[in-house]
């Protein structure tokens, strides 16, 4: 049994496993579990079990009910924009739905955001995308996947945070999470598509010129490639799932 010497954040691992069970439906909605159940199952202290349950509550996955314990909640209670929940969903058997919904969010937001950056950001901020795009080409063509991912996250974060819309800026962590998540679960190619590299450079150049419409068009090329990749992954997942029945 773990005690006060337990390493910090142990409760995150416990909460993650339980959270994924709720996401996948293996912990059914309205079913209750007690702190003692969690302690016995994971071999942790009551403190760790309580902190894990609190994290589930913070994410809207569960609630603590008097005389019942910790109860799994319906999906409409989940805090779906929380980056922790996004990461858990991407690592569950519901990743297809998560990838699809996040891609739809990007399709709705990023073309408008890049138009806003081109029109309202300072020349200094607009220029920041140019070296990033050039480095993305170098690392992408060189197969430097982790460095490319870091640059890709920063590229899209800059667009959202300089869009002139505070709500778009608030989504920058969510976009970063889905980019990182795709890489972690092996859905990012070692060598990005040449059209995607071209489109990132086209976005950077259009934003630098202050050409919002051209920036929108180039961003749509990027997102169309993302949507095609997600659709391909989802199709393969569905086929594998059907074959396993």
Which pLDDT value is given to residue 234? 55
Which pLDDT value is given to residue 193? 87
At which of 18, 43, 77 does a domain end? 77
| Same domain, yes or no: 147 and 115 | yes
- β-partners of residue 62 are 72
> In this structure, are residues 184 and 88 in contact, taking their beta carbons and an 8 Å threshold?
no
Which pLDDT value is given to residue 169? 95
H or E element: which one contains 184? helix 172-184
- The verdict on residue 87 lying in a domain is no
Q: What is the pLDDT of residues 204-243, one digit of tens each?
A: 999 999 999 999 999 999 999 888 878 776 555 555 555 5
At which of 34, 54, 77 does a domain end? 77
CA distances for 165 relative to 31, 117, 146, angstroms = 41, 9, 29
- The verdict on residue 1 lying in a domain is no
Q: How many domains is the chain partitioned into structurally? A: 2
| Same domain, yes or no: 138 and 166 | yes
DSSP state of 122: -
- Looking at residue 141, which CATH number applies to its domain? 1.20.120.530
Phi first, then psi, for residue 59 (nearest 5°) are -90, 0
| Same domain, yes or no: 57 and 159 | no
At which of 18, 51, 77 does a domain end? 77
| Same domain, yes or no: 65 and 107 | no
- Looking at residue 62, which CATH number applies to its domain? 1.10.10.10
Low-confidence ranges of the chain (pLDDT < 50): 1-6
Which pLDDT value is given to residue 144? 93
> In this structure, are residues 208 and 125 in contact, taking their beta carbons and an 8 Å threshold?
no
Which pLDDT value is given to residue 229? 78
| Same domain, yes or no: 73 and 96 | no
Domain range for 225:
92-243
Which pLDDT value is given to residue 241? 57
Which pLDDT value is given to residue 244? 57
- β-partners of residue 71 are 32, 63
DSSP state of 244: T
| Same domain, yes or no: 109 and 218 | yes
DSSP line for 39-55:
HHHHT--HHHHHHHHHH
Helix axes 194-209, 95-120, angle to 10 degrees: 30
- The verdict on residue 3 lying in a domain is no
| Same domain, yes or no: 130 and 54 | no
Closest by Cα among 2, 5, 24 to 14:
2
- β-partners of residue 94 are none
- The verdict on residue 2 lying in a domain is no
């Amino acid at each position: 049994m773990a005690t006060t010497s337990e390493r910090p954040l142990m409760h995150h691992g416990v909460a993650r496993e339980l959270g994924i069970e709720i996401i996948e439906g293996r912990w059914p909605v309205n079913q209750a579990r007690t702190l003692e159940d969690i302690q016995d199952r994971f071999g942790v202290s009551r403190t760790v079990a309580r902190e894990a349950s609190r994290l589930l509550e913070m994410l809207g996955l569960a609630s603590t009910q008097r005389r019942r314990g910790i109860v799994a909640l319906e999906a409409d209670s989940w805090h779906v924009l929380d980056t922790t929940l996004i990461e858990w969903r991407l690592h569950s058997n519901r990743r297809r739905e998560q990838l699809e919904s996040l891609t739809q969010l990007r399709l709705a937001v990023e073309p408008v955001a890049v138009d806003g950056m081109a029109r309202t950001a300072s020349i200094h901020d607009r220029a920041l995308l140019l070296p990033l795009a050039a480095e993305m080409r170098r690392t992408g063509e060189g197969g430097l996947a982790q460095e490319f991912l870091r640059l890709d996250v920063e590229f899209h974060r800059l667009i959202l945070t300089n869009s002139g819309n505070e709500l778009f800026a608030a989504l920058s962590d969510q976009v970063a999470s889905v980019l990182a998540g795709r890489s972690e679960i092996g859905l990012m190619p070692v060598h990005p598509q040449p059209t995607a590299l071209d489109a990132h450079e086209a976005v950077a150049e259009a934003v630098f010129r202050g050409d919002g419409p051209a920036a929108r068009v180039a961003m749509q090329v990027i997102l169309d490639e993302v949507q095609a990749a997600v659709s391909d992954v989802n199709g393969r997942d569905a086929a594998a799932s059907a074959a396993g029945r």
